[in-house]
Protein backbone atom coordinates (compact mmCIF):
# COMPACT_ATOMS: atom_id res chain seq x y z
CA UNK A 1 0.00 0.00 0.00
CA UNK A 2 1.29 3.44 -0.86
CA UNK A 3 1.95 5.82 1.99
CA UNK A 4 -0.23 8.55 0.46
CA UNK A 5 -3.34 6.61 1.51
CA UNK A 6 -2.35 6.42 5.16
CA UNK A 7 -3.82 9.79 6.13
CA UNK A 8 -7.24 8.20 5.67
CA UNK A 9 -6.26 4.84 7.07
CA UNK A 10 -5.30 6.28 10.47
CA UNK A 11 -7.79 9.11 10.87
CA UNK A 12 -8.37 7.77 14.37
CA UNK A 13 -5.17 9.60 15.35
CA UNK A 14 -7.42 12.66 15.66
CA UNK A 15 -10.03 11.11 17.93
CA UNK A 16 -11.59 13.89 20.03
CA UNK A 17 -9.66 12.95 23.18
CA UNK A 18 -6.59 15.19 23.02
CA UNK A 19 -7.79 17.82 25.48
CA UNK A 20 -10.28 15.74 27.42
CA UNK A 21 -8.73 16.69 30.75
CA UNK A 22 -6.41 19.54 29.79
CA UNK A 23 -5.27 22.46 31.92
CA UNK A 24 -7.60 25.18 33.19
CA UNK A 25 -10.89 25.07 31.23
CA UNK A 26 -9.42 23.58 28.03
CA UNK A 27 -11.50 20.65 26.82
CA UNK A 28 -11.65 19.73 23.11
CA UNK A 29 -8.16 20.60 21.87
CA UNK A 30 -9.70 22.46 18.87
CA UNK A 31 -8.40 20.13 16.16
CA UNK A 32 -8.34 21.19 12.50
CA UNK A 33 -7.72 17.67 11.13
CA UNK A 34 -11.23 17.19 9.74
CA UNK A 35 -11.03 20.34 7.64
CA UNK A 36 -7.69 19.20 6.17
CA UNK A 37 -9.03 15.91 4.80
CA UNK A 38 -9.11 15.58 0.99
CA UNK A 39 -12.30 16.07 -1.00
CA UNK A 40 -15.74 16.36 0.56
CA UNK A 41 -15.81 15.03 4.08
CA UNK A 42 -18.05 14.80 7.16
CA UNK A 43 -17.32 13.56 10.66
CA UNK A 44 -19.04 13.53 14.04
CA UNK A 45 -17.53 12.49 17.34
CA UNK A 46 -18.16 12.39 21.05
CA UNK A 47 -15.83 12.14 24.03
CA UNK A 48 -16.74 11.09 27.56
CA UNK A 49 -14.53 11.74 30.57
CA UNK A 50 -14.68 9.92 33.90
CA UNK A 51 -12.31 11.68 36.34
CA UNK A 52 -11.53 11.01 39.98
CA UNK A 53 -10.08 14.01 41.83
CA UNK A 54 -9.84 13.82 45.63
CA UNK A 55 -7.59 15.39 48.22
CA UNK A 56 -7.19 16.69 51.75
CA UNK A 57 -7.51 19.98 53.57
CA UNK A 58 -4.11 21.62 53.97
CA UNK A 59 -2.27 24.92 54.12
CA UNK A 60 -4.33 27.67 55.75
CA UNK A 61 -7.22 25.31 56.60
CA UNK A 62 -7.43 24.77 60.35
CA UNK A 63 -8.61 21.18 59.88
CA UNK A 64 -7.13 18.26 57.93
CA UNK A 65 -10.15 16.33 56.74
CA UNK A 66 -10.29 14.24 53.59
CA UNK A 67 -12.00 15.62 50.48
CA UNK A 68 -13.86 13.08 48.35
CA UNK A 69 -14.03 12.98 44.56
CA UNK A 70 -15.11 16.45 43.41
CA UNK A 71 -14.78 16.04 39.61
CA UNK A 72 -17.97 15.29 37.70
CA UNK A 73 -18.26 13.14 34.58
CA UNK A 74 -18.93 15.05 31.38
CA UNK A 75 -19.11 14.58 27.62
CA UNK A 76 -18.60 16.84 24.64
CA UNK A 77 -19.46 16.36 20.97
CA UNK A 78 -17.73 17.61 17.84
CA UNK A 79 -18.53 17.70 14.13
CA UNK A 80 -16.92 18.79 10.85
CA UNK A 81 -18.38 19.38 7.39
CA UNK A 82 -15.76 20.10 4.74
CA UNK A 83 -16.61 20.84 1.09
CA UNK A 84 -14.13 21.09 -1.75
CA UNK A 85 -16.18 23.65 -3.68
CA UNK A 86 -13.58 24.05 -6.46
CA UNK A 87 -10.15 22.75 -7.37
CA UNK A 88 -8.40 25.42 -5.30
CA UNK A 89 -11.07 26.46 -2.81
CA UNK A 90 -12.63 24.69 0.15
CA UNK A 91 -15.13 25.59 2.86
CA UNK A 92 -15.71 24.05 6.25
CA UNK A 93 -18.01 24.20 9.26
CA UNK A 94 -16.33 23.07 12.49
CA UNK A 95 -18.32 22.57 15.70
CA UNK A 96 -16.85 21.76 19.10
CA UNK A 97 -17.11 22.64 22.79
CA UNK A 98 -13.63 24.02 23.49
CA UNK A 99 -13.86 25.17 27.11
CA UNK A 100 -15.73 23.85 30.10
CA UNK A 101 -15.76 22.71 33.70
CA UNK A 102 -17.93 20.50 35.88
CA UNK A 103 -17.22 19.85 39.54
CA UNK A 104 -19.05 19.54 42.85
CA UNK A 105 -17.71 19.05 46.37
CA UNK A 106 -19.46 16.89 48.96
CA UNK A 107 -18.93 15.52 52.45
CA UNK A 108 -17.54 17.33 55.46
CA UNK A 109 -14.78 19.74 54.43
CA UNK A 110 -13.97 23.42 53.87
CA UNK A 111 -15.84 23.43 50.53
CA UNK A 112 -19.18 22.45 52.07
CA UNK A 113 -21.15 24.76 54.37
CA UNK A 114 -21.32 24.02 58.09
CA UNK A 115 -23.67 26.42 59.92
CA UNK A 116 -22.07 25.58 63.28
CA UNK A 117 -18.45 26.38 62.45
CA UNK A 118 -18.45 28.63 59.36
CA UNK A 119 -17.35 32.24 59.92
CA UNK A 120 -17.36 35.28 57.65
CA UNK A 121 -13.57 35.53 57.83
CA UNK A 122 -10.82 33.08 58.76
CA UNK A 123 -10.85 32.51 62.50
CA UNK A 124 -7.55 34.27 63.20
CA UNK A 125 -8.52 37.40 61.25
CA UNK A 126 -12.03 37.44 62.67
CA UNK A 127 -10.67 37.13 66.22
CA UNK A 128 -8.26 39.99 65.60
CA UNK A 129 -11.04 42.21 64.22
CA UNK A 130 -13.35 41.23 67.08
CA UNK A 131 -10.79 42.12 69.75
CA UNK A 132 -9.82 45.34 67.98
CA UNK A 133 -13.46 46.38 67.69
CA UNK A 134 -14.14 45.71 71.37
CA UNK A 135 -11.04 47.64 72.47
CA UNK A 136 -11.57 50.61 70.13
CA UNK A 137 -15.23 50.90 71.10
CA UNK A 138 -14.42 50.78 74.82
CA UNK A 139 -11.52 53.22 74.53
CA UNK A 140 -13.70 55.61 72.57
CA UNK A 141 -16.15 55.98 75.45
CA UNK A 142 -15.77 58.81 77.95
CA UNK A 143 -16.05 58.26 81.71
CA UNK A 144 -19.56 59.68 81.61
CA UNK A 145 -20.56 57.26 78.85
CA UNK A 146 -19.10 54.26 80.65
CA UNK A 147 -20.84 55.06 83.92
CA UNK A 148 -24.14 55.80 82.18
CA UNK A 149 -24.04 52.55 80.18
CA UNK A 150 -23.14 50.53 83.27
CA UNK A 151 -25.97 51.94 85.36
CA UNK A 152 -28.49 51.55 82.54
CA UNK A 153 -27.48 47.88 82.16
CA UNK A 154 -28.25 47.52 85.89
CA UNK A 155 -31.76 48.95 85.40
CA UNK A 156 -31.11 52.44 86.82
CA UNK A 157 -33.42 55.09 85.30
CA UNK A 158 -31.16 58.07 84.69
CA UNK A 159 -34.08 60.38 83.91
CA UNK A 160 -35.23 60.42 87.54
CA UNK A 161 -33.69 62.51 90.38
CA UNK A 162 -32.73 59.31 92.18
CA UNK A 163 -31.06 57.98 89.04
CA UNK A 164 -29.15 61.22 88.49
CA UNK A 165 -27.96 61.24 92.09
CA UNK A 166 -26.70 57.67 91.79
CA UNK A 167 -25.07 58.57 88.47
CA UNK A 168 -23.15 61.54 89.99
CA UNK A 169 -22.06 59.52 92.98
CA UNK A 170 -20.79 56.67 90.82
CA UNK A 171 -19.09 59.04 88.35
CA UNK A 172 -17.21 60.78 91.17
CA UNK A 173 -16.01 57.45 92.49
CA UNK A 174 -15.00 56.34 89.01
CA UNK A 175 -13.06 59.58 88.33
CA UNK A 176 -11.35 59.23 91.72
CA UNK A 177 -10.22 55.72 90.70
CA UNK A 178 -12.00 53.91 93.50
CA UNK A 179 -10.80 50.37 92.66
CA UNK A 180 -14.02 48.45 93.24
CA UNK A 181 -16.16 50.99 91.37
CA UNK A 182 -13.75 51.32 88.45
CA UNK A 183 -13.36 47.57 88.04
CA UNK A 184 -17.11 47.04 88.18
CA UNK A 185 -17.89 49.81 85.69
CA UNK A 186 -15.13 48.89 83.19
CA UNK A 187 -15.86 45.19 83.42
CA UNK A 188 -19.58 45.67 82.92
CA UNK A 189 -19.15 48.04 79.97
CA UNK A 190 -16.56 45.87 78.26
CA UNK A 191 -18.76 42.79 78.70
CA UNK A 192 -21.74 44.65 77.24
CA UNK A 193 -19.65 45.68 74.22
CA UNK A 194 -18.35 42.14 73.85
CA UNK A 195 -21.87 40.71 73.94
CA UNK A 196 -23.00 43.17 71.29
CA UNK A 197 -20.02 42.47 69.01
CA UNK A 198 -20.37 38.70 69.41
CA UNK A 199 -24.09 38.92 68.69
CA UNK A 200 -23.31 40.89 65.51
CA UNK A 201 -20.73 38.34 64.40
CA UNK A 202 -23.13 35.49 65.08
CA UNK A 203 -25.85 37.25 63.09
CA UNK A 204 -23.44 37.79 60.19
CA UNK A 205 -22.27 34.17 60.32
CA UNK A 206 -25.88 33.00 60.21
CA UNK A 207 -26.35 34.65 56.80
CA UNK A 208 -23.63 32.54 55.16
CA UNK A 209 -24.57 30.08 52.45
CA UNK A 210 -25.92 26.58 52.78
CA UNK A 211 -24.93 23.63 50.59
CA UNK A 212 -21.76 22.81 48.67
CA UNK A 213 -19.34 24.35 46.22
CA UNK A 214 -20.00 23.53 42.58
CA UNK A 215 -19.24 24.85 39.11
CA UNK A 216 -20.46 24.12 35.62
CA UNK A 217 -19.21 25.97 32.55
CA UNK A 218 -20.13 25.17 28.94
CA UNK A 219 -19.06 26.68 25.65
CA UNK A 220 -19.81 26.09 21.99
CA UNK A 221 -17.76 27.02 18.93
CA UNK A 222 -18.84 27.22 15.31
CA UNK A 223 -16.03 28.09 12.89
CA UNK A 224 -16.62 29.08 9.26
CA UNK A 225 -13.38 28.23 7.49
CA UNK A 226 -12.38 29.22 3.96
CA UNK A 227 -9.40 27.46 2.42
CA UNK A 228 -7.23 28.22 -0.60
CA UNK A 229 -5.02 25.53 -2.12
CA UNK A 230 -2.69 26.97 -4.80
CA UNK A 231 -1.35 23.47 -5.44
CA UNK A 232 -1.50 19.99 -3.92
CA UNK A 233 1.07 20.86 -1.28
CA UNK A 234 -0.19 24.09 0.32
CA UNK A 235 -3.44 25.02 2.04
CA UNK A 236 -4.05 28.50 3.47
CA UNK A 237 -7.20 28.90 5.56
CA UNK A 238 -8.97 31.44 7.77
CA UNK A 239 -12.42 32.40 8.92
CA UNK A 240 -14.68 33.80 11.64
CA UNK A 241 -15.57 31.89 14.81
CA UNK A 242 -18.88 32.24 16.64
CA UNK A 243 -18.72 31.23 20.29
CA UNK A 244 -21.18 30.99 23.18
CA UNK A 245 -20.41 30.66 26.89
CA UNK A 246 -22.64 29.99 29.90
CA UNK A 247 -22.13 28.73 33.42
CA UNK A 248 -22.99 28.61 37.10
CA UNK A 249 -20.74 28.91 40.12
CA UNK A 250 -21.62 28.42 43.80
CA UNK A 251 -19.05 28.98 46.55
CA UNK A 252 -19.71 27.35 49.90
CA UNK A 253 -17.75 26.45 53.01
CA UNK A 254 -15.14 27.97 55.28
CA UNK A 255 -12.55 28.08 52.48
CA UNK A 256 -14.39 31.07 50.98
CA UNK A 257 -15.05 32.92 54.29
CA UNK A 258 -17.36 35.88 53.53
CA UNK A 259 -17.98 34.54 49.99
CA UNK A 260 -19.55 31.45 51.54
CA UNK A 261 -22.96 31.91 49.95
CA UNK A 262 -21.87 33.47 46.64
CA UNK A 263 -23.71 32.41 43.48
CA UNK A 264 -23.11 33.51 39.91
CA UNK A 265 -25.31 32.62 36.97
CA UNK A 266 -23.56 33.40 33.70
CA UNK A 267 -26.33 33.63 31.15
CA UNK A 268 -25.49 32.29 27.70
CA UNK A 269 -23.66 35.00 25.82
CA UNK A 270 -22.00 35.09 22.43
CA UNK A 271 -18.87 36.57 20.92
CA UNK A 272 -17.00 36.49 17.63
CA UNK A 273 -13.34 35.79 16.95
CA UNK A 274 -11.28 34.34 14.12
CA UNK A 275 -8.80 31.67 13.17
CA UNK A 276 -6.08 31.45 10.55
CA UNK A 277 -3.62 28.80 9.55
CA UNK A 278 -1.46 27.13 6.97
CA UNK A 279 -0.97 23.47 6.09
CA UNK A 280 1.65 21.70 4.00
CA UNK A 281 1.55 18.15 2.72
CA UNK A 282 3.47 15.68 0.57
CA UNK A 283 0.95 12.92 -0.12
CA UNK A 284 3.47 10.40 -1.47
CA UNK A 285 5.12 10.09 1.95
CA UNK A 286 1.96 10.73 3.99
CA UNK A 287 3.46 13.95 5.34
CA UNK A 288 1.06 16.59 6.58
CA UNK A 289 1.68 19.48 8.93
CA UNK A 290 -0.44 22.45 9.93
CA UNK A 291 -0.17 25.51 12.15
CA UNK A 292 -3.40 27.16 13.38
CA UNK A 293 -3.95 30.32 15.42
CA UNK A 294 -7.22 31.08 17.20
CA UNK A 295 -7.92 34.54 18.56
CA UNK A 296 -9.28 35.66 21.91
CA UNK A 297 -13.05 36.10 22.04
CA UNK A 298 -14.71 38.68 24.29
CA UNK A 299 -18.05 38.09 25.98
CA UNK A 300 -19.82 41.00 27.70
CA UNK A 301 -22.48 39.74 30.05
CA UNK A 302 -24.63 40.86 32.96
CA UNK A 303 -23.94 38.06 35.42
CA UNK A 304 -26.75 37.36 37.87
CA UNK A 305 -24.89 37.46 41.21
CA UNK A 306 -25.97 36.90 44.78
CA UNK A 307 -23.97 36.99 48.01
CA UNK A 308 -25.97 35.86 51.02
CA UNK A 309 -23.93 38.05 53.40
CA UNK A 310 -25.43 41.12 51.70
CA UNK A 311 -28.72 40.27 53.44
CA UNK A 312 -27.13 40.97 56.84
CA UNK A 313 -28.95 44.17 57.98
CA UNK A 314 -25.97 45.72 59.75
CA UNK A 315 -23.45 44.98 56.96
CA UNK A 316 -23.21 48.61 55.86
CA UNK A 317 -22.54 49.76 59.42
CA UNK A 318 -19.92 47.07 59.97
CA UNK A 319 -18.11 47.78 56.72
CA UNK A 320 -18.15 51.51 57.40
CA UNK A 321 -16.61 50.85 60.78
CA UNK A 322 -13.87 48.84 59.06
CA UNK A 323 -12.98 51.76 56.80
CA UNK A 324 -14.98 50.91 53.66
CA UNK A 325 -15.89 54.13 51.84
CA UNK A 326 -19.37 55.24 50.89
CA UNK A 327 -18.63 54.87 47.17
CA UNK A 328 -17.48 51.30 47.73
CA UNK A 329 -20.63 50.51 49.68
CA UNK A 330 -22.74 51.91 46.85
CA UNK A 331 -20.83 49.86 44.28
CA UNK A 332 -21.44 46.63 46.23
CA UNK A 333 -25.19 47.09 45.81
CA UNK A 334 -25.02 48.04 42.13
CA UNK A 335 -24.94 45.97 38.96
CA UNK A 336 -22.69 46.11 35.93
CA UNK A 337 -21.32 44.15 33.00
CA UNK A 338 -18.53 41.61 33.20
CA UNK A 339 -16.15 40.86 30.34
CA UNK A 340 -15.08 37.25 29.95
CA UNK A 341 -12.32 36.72 27.39
CA UNK A 342 -11.63 33.16 26.25
CA UNK A 343 -7.93 32.72 25.47
CA UNK A 344 -5.96 32.73 22.25
CA UNK A 345 -4.26 29.48 21.23
CA UNK A 346 -1.92 27.89 18.71
CA UNK A 347 -2.03 24.30 17.44
CA UNK A 348 0.82 22.59 15.59
CA UNK A 349 -0.02 19.24 14.01
CA UNK A 350 2.34 16.90 12.20
CA UNK A 351 2.26 13.43 10.70
CA UNK A 352 4.52 11.49 8.35
CA UNK A 353 4.91 7.99 7.02
CA UNK A 354 7.76 6.11 8.67
CA UNK A 355 7.40 2.72 6.97
CA UNK A 356 4.90 0.81 4.91
CA UNK A 357 1.39 1.08 6.40
CA UNK A 358 2.71 3.10 9.39
CA UNK A 359 2.41 6.78 10.28
CA UNK A 360 3.87 8.78 13.17
CA UNK A 361 1.89 11.78 14.39
CA UNK A 362 2.28 14.60 16.89
CA UNK A 363 0.27 17.55 18.16
CA UNK A 364 1.52 20.50 20.20
CA UNK A 365 -0.89 23.07 21.67
CA UNK A 366 -0.35 26.37 23.48
CA UNK A 367 -3.15 28.22 25.28
CA UNK A 368 -2.71 31.67 26.80
CA UNK A 369 -4.28 30.95 30.21
CA UNK A 370 -1.83 33.24 32.03
CA UNK A 371 -3.77 36.29 30.82
CA UNK A 372 -7.17 34.79 31.59
CA UNK A 373 -9.27 35.75 34.60
CA UNK A 374 -12.93 36.10 35.59
CA UNK A 375 -14.04 38.81 37.99
CA UNK A 376 -17.83 39.13 38.03
CA UNK A 377 -18.89 42.72 38.66
CA UNK A 378 -20.35 42.46 42.15
CA UNK A 379 -17.75 39.86 43.21
CA UNK A 380 -15.05 42.34 42.23
CA UNK A 381 -16.62 45.28 44.06
CA UNK A 382 -16.93 43.26 47.26
CA UNK A 383 -13.32 42.10 46.90
CA UNK A 384 -12.13 45.71 46.54
CA UNK A 385 -14.10 46.73 49.63
CA UNK A 386 -12.92 43.92 51.89
CA UNK A 387 -9.54 43.28 50.25
CA UNK A 388 -7.59 45.37 52.79
CA UNK A 389 -8.87 43.07 55.57
CA UNK A 390 -7.02 40.14 53.96
CA UNK A 391 -4.00 42.01 52.59
CA UNK A 392 -5.44 42.30 49.06
CA UNK A 393 -6.02 46.07 48.78
CA UNK A 394 -6.81 45.93 45.04
CA UNK A 395 -9.30 43.08 45.32
CA UNK A 396 -9.04 39.72 43.58
CA UNK A 397 -10.60 37.50 40.89
CA UNK A 398 -13.02 34.61 41.11
CA UNK A 399 -10.73 32.55 38.83
CA UNK A 400 -7.27 33.19 37.41
CA UNK A 401 -4.27 31.16 36.26
CA UNK A 402 -0.56 31.83 36.69
CA UNK A 403 0.89 29.97 33.68
CA UNK A 404 0.16 29.30 30.03
CA UNK A 405 -0.75 25.76 29.07
CA UNK A 406 1.48 23.60 26.88
CA UNK A 407 0.38 20.16 25.80
CA UNK A 408 1.70 17.51 23.43
CA UNK A 409 0.41 14.26 22.04
CA UNK A 410 2.61 11.84 20.04
CA UNK A 411 1.94 8.39 18.67
CA UNK A 412 2.06 5.84 15.90
CA UNK A 413 -0.79 4.63 13.72
CA UNK A 414 -0.73 1.49 11.59
CA UNK A 415 -3.05 0.03 8.98
CA UNK A 416 -3.56 -3.64 9.80
CA UNK A 417 -5.58 -4.58 6.70
CA UNK A 418 -8.10 -3.00 4.34
CA UNK A 419 -10.71 -2.66 7.09
CA UNK A 420 -8.78 -2.21 10.32
CA UNK A 421 -6.23 0.25 11.66
CA UNK A 422 -4.99 1.10 15.13
CA UNK A 423 -2.81 3.54 17.04
CA UNK A 424 -1.05 4.10 20.33
CA UNK A 425 -0.21 7.50 21.78
CA UNK A 426 1.35 9.26 24.75
CA UNK A 427 0.24 12.70 25.94
CA UNK A 428 1.50 15.38 28.31
CA UNK A 429 0.01 18.62 29.63
CA UNK A 430 1.88 21.26 31.63
CA UNK A 431 -1.08 22.55 33.59
CA UNK A 432 -1.76 26.25 34.12
CA UNK A 433 0.19 26.81 37.32
CA UNK A 434 0.34 25.51 40.87
CA UNK A 435 -1.27 26.45 43.24
CA UNK A 436 -4.40 26.53 41.10
CA UNK A 437 -8.08 27.35 41.56
CA UNK A 438 -10.19 25.20 43.89
CA UNK A 439 -12.67 24.81 41.00
CA UNK A 440 -10.18 22.67 39.03
CA UNK A 441 -7.42 21.43 41.37
CA UNK A 442 -5.04 19.47 39.11
CA UNK A 443 -1.75 20.40 37.47
CA UNK A 444 -1.53 18.88 34.01
CA UNK A 445 -1.23 15.18 33.25
CA UNK A 446 0.47 12.29 31.49
CA UNK A 447 -1.65 9.88 29.48
CA UNK A 448 -1.52 6.84 27.25
CA UNK A 449 -4.09 6.06 24.60
CA UNK A 450 -5.23 3.25 22.34
CA UNK A 451 -7.41 3.63 19.27
CA UNK A 452 -8.97 1.43 16.63
CA UNK A 453 -10.69 2.19 13.33
CA UNK A 454 -12.97 0.00 11.25
CA UNK A 455 -13.69 0.87 7.60
CA UNK A 456 -16.41 -1.33 6.07
CA UNK A 457 -15.94 0.60 2.81
CA UNK A 458 -13.12 2.90 1.68
CA UNK A 459 -15.34 6.01 1.95
CA UNK A 460 -16.47 5.71 5.58
CA UNK A 461 -15.25 4.49 8.96
CA UNK A 462 -16.08 4.09 12.63
CA UNK A 463 -13.34 4.77 15.17
CA UNK A 464 -13.08 4.43 18.92
CA UNK A 465 -10.44 5.04 21.53
CA UNK A 466 -9.61 5.18 25.21
CA UNK A 467 -7.08 7.18 27.20
CA UNK A 468 -5.91 6.85 30.79
CA UNK A 469 -4.73 10.05 32.53
CA UNK A 470 -2.37 10.36 35.48
CA UNK A 471 -3.39 13.78 36.80
CA UNK A 472 -0.76 16.06 38.29
CA UNK A 473 -0.77 16.82 42.02
CA UNK A 474 -1.88 20.36 42.89
CA UNK A 475 -2.43 22.76 45.75
CA UNK A 476 -5.83 24.44 45.59
CA UNK A 477 -6.32 28.10 46.45
CA UNK A 478 -9.26 30.47 46.55
CA UNK A 479 -9.47 33.65 44.50
CA UNK A 480 -8.42 35.68 47.54
CA UNK A 481 -5.21 33.61 47.75
CA UNK A 482 -4.32 33.67 44.04
CA UNK A 483 -0.92 35.12 43.28
CA UNK A 484 0.47 33.97 46.63
CA UNK A 485 1.79 30.67 47.95
CA UNK A 486 -1.23 30.24 50.25
CA UNK A 487 -3.64 27.35 49.68
CA UNK A 488 -6.48 25.54 51.43
CA UNK A 489 -6.21 21.96 50.16
CA UNK A 490 -3.96 19.48 48.37
CA UNK A 491 -5.03 17.01 45.67
CA UNK A 492 -2.81 14.06 44.75
CA UNK A 493 -2.70 10.59 43.16
CA UNK A 494 -5.67 11.29 40.91
CA UNK A 495 -6.62 9.91 37.53
CA UNK A 496 -9.18 10.01 34.73
CA UNK A 497 -10.36 7.76 31.90
CA UNK A 498 -11.60 9.15 28.58
CA UNK A 499 -13.57 7.32 25.90
CA UNK A 500 -14.16 8.56 22.39
CA UNK A 501 -16.03 7.55 19.26
CA UNK A 502 -16.09 9.09 15.81
CA UNK A 503 -17.64 8.37 12.43
CA UNK A 504 -16.32 9.75 9.17
CA UNK A 505 -17.71 9.82 5.64
CA UNK A 506 -16.14 10.86 2.31
CA UNK A 507 -18.53 11.87 -0.43
The 10s digit of each residue's pLDDT in 169-220 is 999 999 999 999 999 999 999 999 999 999 988 988 999 999 999 999 999 9
Whether residues 147 and 188 share a domain: the answer is yes
**Domain boundary pick from 142, 166, 199:** 199
Indicate whether 6 pLDDT > 70.
Answer: no
Q: Are residues 103 and 147 in the same domain?
A: no
What average pLDDT is seen over the chain? 91
> Would 183 be classed as within a structural domain?
yes
Query: Is residue 240 in a domain?
Result: yes
For residue 209, being part of any structural domain is answered with no
Residue 289 lies inside a defined structural domain of this protein: yes
Domain boundary among 171, 199, 227: 199
d(CA 149, CA 119) in angstroms, rounded, equals 29
Taking the C-alpha atoms of residue 7 and residue 38, their distance in angstroms, rounded to an integer, is 9
Specify whether 195 is located in the same domain as 222: no
Q: Write the CA distances from 216 to 38, 245, 404, integer angstroms.
A: 37, 11, 22
How far apart CA 264 and CA 43 sit, in angstroms, is 36
Task: Mention every residue, 6+ apart, whose C-beta is less than 8 A from residue 114.
Answer: 108, 253, 254
Question: Which pLDDT belongs to residue 378?
Answer: 92
The HSE-up count of residue 167 (CA atoms within 13 Å, CB side) is 21
Tell whether 397 and 249 lie within a shared domain. yes
440 with 486, same domain? Answer: yes
Asked, for residue 504, whether it belongs to a domain, the answer is no
Same-domain pairing of 225 and 195: no
* pLDDT at 391 > cutoff 80: no
Please indicate, yes or no, if residue 323 is contained in any of the structural domains: yes
Residue 122 is assigned to a structural domain of this protein: no
Whole-angstrom distance, CA of residue 163 vs CA of residue 147: 12
Could you report the per-residue pLDDT of 397-435, keeping only the tens digit for each?
999 999 999 999 999 999 999 899 999 999 999 999 999
294 and 187 in a common domain? no
Domain-located, residue 123: no
For the stretch 315-342, pLDDT in tens is 777 777 666 777 777 778 788 899 999 9
Query: Any idea what the CATH number is for the domain that residue 97 is in?
Result: 2.40.160.60
The reply to whether 279 and 367 lie within a common domain is yes
In angstroms, how far apart are the furthest CA atoms of the chain? 115
How far is residue 324's CA from residue 310's CA, in Å, rounded to a whole number?
A: 14
Number of domains in the chain: 2
Sign of CA dihedral 353, 15, 448, 25: positive
**pLDDT for 390:** 72
311 and 162 share a domain? no
Is the pLDDT at 18 greater than 50? The verdict is yes
Q: What is the pLDDT of residues 161-182, one digit of tens each?
A: 999 999 999 999 999 999 999 9
Q: Which domain holds residue 366?
A: 3-109+218-453+465-499
**Predicted pLDDT at 21:** 74
pLDDT (tens digit, 9 = 90+) per residue, 60-107? 999 999 999 999 999 999 999 999 999 999 999 999 999 999 999 999
Q: Mark whether 187 and 328 lie in a shared domain.
A: no
Task: Give the mean pLDDT of 293-311.
Answer: 93
Verify that 193 and 222 share a domain, yes or no.
no
Note the pLDDT of residue 20.
66
With a cut of 50, say whether residue 359 has pLDDT above it: yes
**Does residue 403 share a domain with residue 274?**
yes
Q: Residue 7: which of 283, 228, 226 has the closest Cα? A: 283
Amino acid sequence: MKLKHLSTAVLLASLPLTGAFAAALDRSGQSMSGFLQPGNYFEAGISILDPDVSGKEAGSSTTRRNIGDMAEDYYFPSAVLKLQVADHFSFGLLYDQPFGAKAEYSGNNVFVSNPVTDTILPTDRLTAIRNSTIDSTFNGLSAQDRVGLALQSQGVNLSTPQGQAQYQQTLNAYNNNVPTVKAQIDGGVKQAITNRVDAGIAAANSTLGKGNTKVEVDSQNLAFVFGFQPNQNWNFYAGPVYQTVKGNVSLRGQAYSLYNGYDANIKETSGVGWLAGVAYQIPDIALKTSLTYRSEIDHDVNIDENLSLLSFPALTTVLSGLGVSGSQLAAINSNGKTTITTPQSVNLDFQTGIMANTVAFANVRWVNWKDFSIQPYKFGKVSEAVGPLISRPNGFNLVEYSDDQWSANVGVGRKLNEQWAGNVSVGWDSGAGNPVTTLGPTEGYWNVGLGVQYSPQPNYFIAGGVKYFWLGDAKAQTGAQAGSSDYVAEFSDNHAIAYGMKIGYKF
